[in-house]
Structure 1
Amino acid sequence: MIEINNLSFAYDKRTELFKNLSLSLSEGHIYGLLGKNGAGKSTLLKNMAGLAYPQKGTCLLNKANVSGRPVSVLEQLYFLSEDIYVPSFTPSQYVDNTAGFYPKFSRSDFYTYLNALDVDENAVMDKQSFGQQKKAMIAFGLATNTSLLIMDEPTNGLDIPSKVQFRKLIASVLTYERCIVISTHQVRDLDSLIDTLLILHDKEIVVNCTMDEVVEKLTFGFYTDNDGLKALYEEKDMRGTSAISENTTGRFNKVDLELLFNAIISGNKKIVELLKA
């Protein structure tokens, strides 16, 4: 699906974001891309979509170079930017003018998603709130049925009920022929949604593993008494200690994505080594 080979990208000499970054993404997965602000998450997604051009290396979608943005590539991908622009169209008018660029677009799916997200198909989009605009574009992106769906901060501007519905819809549209990549700084929005975790840190992908692999190797817990606890990483508050330990029992528990992310960006090499093993 996506093959990134030795990608190097910089806006200028002082802001090199990646150096010789390589990454493979496959169909049938929902990838969650995490990283600190300024780490280059959005830029990496734009490289995948052919909207940014690397100084070195290539990004291929089904063996075609995305940098040239040929029609054969564009009709296979949909990119939802964090900063969206909507015209003075209703969602129905937008579909009439745009859906033709996507051979697998489904109007029936589109109206189903609009209804699920509580968006009025007859309301002029640029007169609506940012959250309503975002939901209309999410519905459109899902309905394109492209093999690659890239979403940058899709839950920004969404209220809690809409975030819940968003997660349900994303889970429902994944097929063995589709790859979904979601980037967010709202780590908890990816809970129970992604199956593969990517963490971008210090110019490289330091974590690239399935959630099953995470729970096989690590244990997450909250302890009011942590005497004797052999933690790899911990955060304390007035109630107790949230900790990550090596899974030595073979028992699985729920991944605390926020705690894991904090551990990785704090420079915890032991956890990174375990996840790479």
Structure 2
Amino acid sequence: MITIHNLHFSYKKKKIFNGLSLSFSPGHIYGLLGKNGTGKSTLLKNIMGSLFPSQGSINVLGYQPGKRQPAFLQDAFIVPEEFYLPDVAIEKFVSCNAPFYPRFSRPQFNTYLQEFDIPLENSLQQMSYGQKKKVLISFALACNTSILLMDEPSNGLDIMSKSQFRKVIAGAIDDNKCVIISTHQVKDLENLIDRITIIDEGNILFDQTIDDISSKLSFRISFDDEETKKAFYKEESLKGNVIVAPNTYAEESKIDLELLYKAVVTNGNNVNTVFKNQP
């Protein structure tokens, strides 16, 4: 569905990607993780065709995004971190924009607004940033595009809204849709995504499915000094040392994305070795 090969991209003299290759398949919610400024937003914009690589290729749904063909744009949607919505009623926004998307569903849009507690009769400019983001997310999902890109979608949402967001996204995925969510707030994506890609300084540090992570890594509290020393990552807590370690005994443990991210960023080579060596 999305194939990126040997991608090179720079902002003037600042190199962002230097030969990046990556692919995304339908039926998945991908978590694109990394601190601010590591290239997450740049990657999404290249996929969407609003930025153009200096070298390499991007194929999305059989299209070259940079050509901005209407058939491609009708089947892809991006919810950017920074956005502008006009000073109009929600009804007016929908009537002006929905006709461009052939699979837009008004009943779905209304349902998502209800999930987010947004009154349909409101004007967009009367809303807070968080409320506007909920409207844009609702519209994006109701467009039913095959590709949905979301850049820091949980920014500006309160605790209850983040819970609503996870519920809405989980219910919207199907076998024909590919969702990529970029964020540095890793806790917001737990129990939602099924593949983790970690980017740092334009490089892919880690790219694994949730199932593989669960089977090959253990997230637990340890009181054993020797075990702690051998862990990929450790963090002191009141209950003992919280560690990320090889899942030697095939135990089930709840994945902690924040700990995983820290383990990969600080000790990525050793973490990745587990996935290379085990079947």
TM-score range, shorter chain: over 0.9
Give per-residue Cα distances to partners, 1:144-165, cap 9 Å, x unaligned: 0000000001111111111111
Q: Which consecutive unaligned segments of at least 5 residues does structure 1 have?
A: none
* Residue aligning to 1:157: 156
8 Å CA contact 2:205, 2:268 repeated in 1: no
* Residue aligning to 2:246: 246
* Residue aligning to 2:38: 39
Instruction: Name the SS for the 1:46 alignment partner.
Output: helix
* Residue aligning to 2:109: 110
1: distance between equivalents of 2:275 and 2:143?
Answer: 34
* 1:255-274 equivalences in 2 (<5 Å): 255-274=255-274
* 1:167-178 equivalences in 2 (<5 Å): 167-178=166-177
Instruction: Name the SS for the 1:216 alignment partner.
Output: helix
Instruction: Name the SS for the 2:218 alignment partner.
Output: strand
Which 10-residue stretch deviates more, 106-115 or 261-270?
Answer: 261-270
Instruction: Name the SS for the 1:228 alignment partner.
Output: helix
* Residue aligning to 1:219: 218
Q: CA deviation at 1:118?
A: 0.6
How many residue pairs end up in the alignment? Answer: 275
* 1:76-95 equivalences in 2 (<5 Å): 76-95=75-94
Instruction: Name the SS for the 2:226 alignment partner.
Output: coil
* Residue aligning to 1:73: 72
Instruction: Name the SS for the 2:250 alignment partner.
Output: coil
Given residue 78 of structure 2, which amino acid in structure 1 is its aligned partner?
F
* 1:48-63 equivalences in 2 (<5 Å): 48-63=47-62
Given residue 273 of structure 2, which amino acid in structure 1 is its aligned partner?
E
1: distance between equivalents of 2:252 and 2:237?
Answer: 25
1: distance between equivalents of 2:41 and 2:89?
Answer: 28
8 Å CA contact 1:80, 1:138 repeated in 2: yes
1: distance between equivalents of 2:157 and 2:69?
Answer: 33
8 Å CA contact 1:207, 1:275 repeated in 2: no
Q: CA deviation at 1:276?
A: 4.6
Q: CA deviation at 1:135?
A: 0.4
Q: CA deviation at 1:240?
A: 2.4
Given residue 224 of structure 2, which amino acid in structure 1 is its aligned partner?
N
Instruction: Name the SS for the 2:81 alignment partner.
Output: coil
8 Å CA contact 1:49, 1:79 repeated in 2: yes
Question: How does the TM-score come out when normalised to structure 2?
Answer: 0.95
Percent of matched pairs sharing the same residue: 43
- The alpha-carbon distance between structure 1 residues 269 and 192, as it changes in their structure 2 partners (threshold 3 A), is same
Question: How does the TM-score come out when normalised to structure 1?
Answer: 0.96
Give per-residue Cα distances to partners, 1:141-185, cap 9 Å, x unaligned: 010000000000111111111111110110101000000000111
2: distance between equivalents of 1:275 and 1:144?
Answer: 37
Given residue 2 of structure 2, which amino acid in structure 1 is its aligned partner?
I
2: distance between equivalents of 1:63 and 1:276?
Answer: 31
* 1:193-212 equivalences in 2 (<5 Å): 193-212=192-211
Give per-residue Cα distances to partners, 1:52-91, cap 9 Å, x unaligned: 1111111111221001110111011000000021111122
2: distance between equivalents of 1:119 and 1:217?
Answer: 42
Given residue 242 of structure 2, which amino acid in structure 1 is its aligned partner?
S
Give per-residue Cα distances to partners, 1:211-234, cap 9 Å, x unaligned: 0000111000123x2323131211
Instruction: Name the SS for the 2:162 alignment partner.
Output: helix
Which 10-residue stretch deviates more, 31-40 or 230-239?
Answer: 230-239
Give per-residue Cα distances to partners, 1:35-68, cap 9 Å, x unaligned: 1211010000101111111111111112210011
- The answer on 1:9 being equivalent to 2:9 is yes
* 1:137-152 equivalences in 2 (<5 Å): 137-152=136-151
Q: CA deviation at 1:239?
A: 4.4
8 Å CA contact 1:233, 1:268 repeated in 2: no
Query: What's the Cα RMSD here?
Result: 1.2
1: distance between equivalents of 2:218 and 2:193?
Answer: 18
- The alpha-carbon distance between structure 1 residues 268 and 26, as it changes in their structure 2 partners (threshold 3 A), is closer
8 Å CA contact 1:163, 1:189 repeated in 2: yes
1: distance between equivalents of 2:275 and 2:105?
Answer: 39
1: distance between equivalents of 2:275 and 2:38?
Answer: 20
* Residue aligning to 1:122: 121
1: distance between equivalents of 2:54 and 2:29?
Answer: 28
Instruction: Name the SS for the 2:20 alignment partner.
Output: strand
Q: Which consecutive unaligned segments of at least 5 residues does structure 2 have?
A: none
- The answer on 1:191 being equivalent to 2:190 is yes
Instruction: Name the SS for the 1:115 alignment partner.
Output: helix
Give per-residue Cα distances to partners, 1:182-213, cap 9 Å, x unaligned: 01111100100000101112422121111000
